[in-house]
Structure 1
Amino acid sequence: MAPVPEPRWRRRKEARPADIVAAALELFTEKGFAAARLDEIARRAGVSKGTLYLYFDSKEALFRAVVRDVVVPNVEALRESVLGSATPFPERLRELLPRFAAIVTALPIGAVAKMVIGESRNFPELAKVWHDDVILKSIGLLVELLEAAQARGEVRAGNPRIQAFSIMGPMLLGILWRETFTPIGGAEVDLVAAARQHAETVIDGLSLKESAR
């Protein structure tokens, strides 16, 4: 008879927090925040509930860890890549939006965003974490990009924050469409293709040549 493998939490003590966060992400996206239970998260992570509490004292703490470990690193990588580039605004936007769409397509970030929107009334802490760690950083990235482009005379003048909201609005619609309507038979949305097309629309709309007509 083959030996029974030890539980993961005994075999890889150093990986316990990562395993728990991964299990929490799976259950949050499958069931939502309210329905996800800590004992079920522990079971899926291969640890006891008591072990889970050694690292996370609540579901809210687990959600903060999901955002910190899964979402924020991708936002920071985009920020470093785009703001660290010396290329003109059109090229940077053509890089930013499709990369953002590819990340959202590959990871369950859209499902988490939908969960936050749906459960923020009963769990405002979720909305605050998402706002502070994801939305502000994402919009802030675009604001910095637009401010620099305006200063270089690459795009027309305007309120960079409003422009940033205008840029991200259609992307959010695409994300929510994929998470809400595609699963019940709605048309598939190629978010990367939509991002490429949207980038060209934005570039044309902010072009100084357009404002001179």
Structure 2
Amino acid sequence: MEAALEEFAERGYGGASMAGAAARAGVAKGLIYYYFPGKAELFTAVVRSCIQPVFTEAEKLVAAHDGPYADLLQRLIRLAYQRVGEDSRDSVLFKLLLAEADRFPELGDFYRLEVLSRGLDLITSVVSAGAAAGEFRADAAEDGGLAAVLMAPVAMASVWRGMLGPERAPSLEAMCAAQTRLILSGLARPGPG
């Protein structure tokens, strides 16, 4: 997976080859084809290997949750920002998807179905549970675009880090803190009067 990621990162999706990934891994090209029938399958396997750990961790947080939903939402947001700061593979894949999805629509479709939808569903379930528990505004669960708006700053943080480099991009810690304050304030049920 690491060798394939290097191949995609250096050559782009269009220029990457199964032979190049095999050479980087130090294995015969036939071995790669044994596990992955083509470049698209190899690419999706690389993306899955990168995103699976963060989704597994997020889903465990949600399943084990016992307390205020505001705390859970804050932990999920923090996890997303940590991931942007810690795993450079995500940044490489994000840049690759941004650069190549218009030429290879199947990449965008894959991202939408397996990454974006999964993240949106997770956030929507937390906001809906918080609204049902009376912790968040009742109409928060009805807003179909809310989960995307909640996830967008993390995606933008990844874009800025890719464009500017980690040292010149806005601070992940500051963005996380500001986003959390805004979200929790916006989701709060109105008080009396």
Instruction: With the length of structure 1 as denominator, give the TM-score of the two structures.
Output: 0.81
- Cα pair 1:167 1:202 within 8 Å, conserved: yes
Task: Note the alpha carbon deviations across 1:111-150, whole angstroms, 9 max, x for none.
Answer: 2122112211221121121111111110100000000001
CA RMSD of aligned residues (A): 1.9
Corresponding position: 1:175 with 2:158: yes
Matched, 1:131 2:136: no
- Aligned AA for 2:175? A
Gapped regions of structure 1 (runs ≥ 5): 1-20
Could you report, residue by residue, the CA deviation over 1:23-59 in whole angstroms, capped at 9, with x for unpaired residues? Answer: 1112223332112222221111110112211111211
TM-superposed CA distance for 1:70, in Å, is 2.0
Following superposition of structure 1 onto structure 2, how do residues 20-31 of structure 1 map, counting pairs within 5 Å?
Answer: 21-31=1-11
Is the partner of 2:67 in helix, strand or coil? coil
SS at match of 1:93: helix
Q: Distance in 2 between matches of 1:27 and 1:193?
A: 34
Aligned equivalents of 2:144, 2:8: Cα separation in 1: 31
Gaps of 5+ in 2: none
Q: Distance in 1 between matches of 2:177 and 2:15?
A: 37
Identify the residue that residue 147 of structure 1 maps to in structure 2: 128
Match in the other structure for 1:166 = 149
The answer as to whether partners of 1:29 and 1:115 remain within 8 angstroms in 2 is yes
* Amino acid in structure 2 at the alignment position of 1:104: V
Q: Is the 8 A contact 1:23 1:44 kept in 2?
A: yes
- 8 Å CA contact 1:97–1:196 kept in 2: the answer is no
Q: Which residue of 2 aligns with 1:92?
A: 72
